[in-house]
Structure 1
């Protein structure tokens, strides 16, 4: 199973619709776990505790972090494929809240991934991540979606 743990819910119907579209296309069961976005930076630790409660010791965790490694769509496909081959738990992607990720979540990460040096709203990041996971599976299946 793939889990996307995200802090903060999507408020725009249009974004939700697009996210759902991509999630339904992913050939592996995929779910989004939405956690409460705390209103202050002091709440980041609470967000971290909530995130960690949803991660098992056997899960492979990929955190989305600005200082993470930037890779291509093909490399993400390879990472997913390699991880699935060795996986005993779930593949878990984590999107932090408006203040980022707590150090405890970053430390639990097996792989720190960056989509860009830009900062994106977590709502948009959910869409970008869902599309890239879908694209990764299309690459792995030699589908022409990814050209």
Structure 2
């Protein structure tokens, strides 16, 4: 199985980008992982929130294959602790899917088309974080989840 993380907009902060790269490399020991950045919408100031979400939604849908399982990182999603998230990952790996796709939306969230296509929603916290930081937090939690599944000491340092 491959895990893909789709995110809108690049990471401007060099320290965050460096940490994200570090965890991407670590994840490579456990699973095939891809981080794919969808460029910000050009001239978004001229668009309504709904128009921007729809345009981003189209770009997200264009990155999916028919067999992908789509999970949204959404403030209204189910919250997990790290151990239950590792079980969630294991369940998806056991199901035989080819690619599990997690998506971090744009500044206004997701379009209706994306909500309809999604097979699940996960919330990392009730707090609001920058979309750039969410990338780091989520990739770190993926890594932590795999170390839990492999019974490695990282989770209890």
Shorter-normalised TM-score: what interval? over 0.9
- Find the counterpart in structure 2 of residue 13 from structure 1: 14
Within the alignment, does 1:87 sit opposite 2:96 as a pair?
yes
- Find the counterpart in structure 2 of residue 24 from structure 1: 25
Gaps of 5+ in 1: none
1:59-98 correspondence to structure 2 within 5 Å:
59-98=68-107
- Find the counterpart in structure 2 of residue 50 from structure 1: 59
Cα distance in 2 for residues equivalent to 1:111 and 1:84: 15
How far apart are 1:107 and its partner, in Å? Answer: 1.8
Paired residues of 1:37 and 1:98 also in contact (CA < 8 A)? no
How far apart are 1:87 and its partner, in Å? Answer: 2.9
CA RMSD in angstroms, aligned pairs only: 1.1
Aligned residues: 147
- Find the counterpart in structure 2 of residue 134 from structure 1: 143
SS of aligned partner of 2:153: coil
- Find the counterpart in structure 1 of residue 126 from structure 2: 117
Q: Which moved more, 1:15-24 or 1:34-43?
A: 34-43
TM-score (norm 1): 0.95
Divergent runs of 4+, >3 A: none
Cα distance in 1 for residues equivalent to 2:69 and 2:93: 9
The structure number with the bigger radius of gyration is 2
TM-score (norm 2): 0.89
Gaps of 5+ in 2: none
- Find the counterpart in structure 2 of residue 4 from structure 1: 5
Within the alignment, does 1:36 sit opposite 2:45 as a pair?
no
Cα distance in 2 for residues equivalent to 1:88 and 1:101: 24
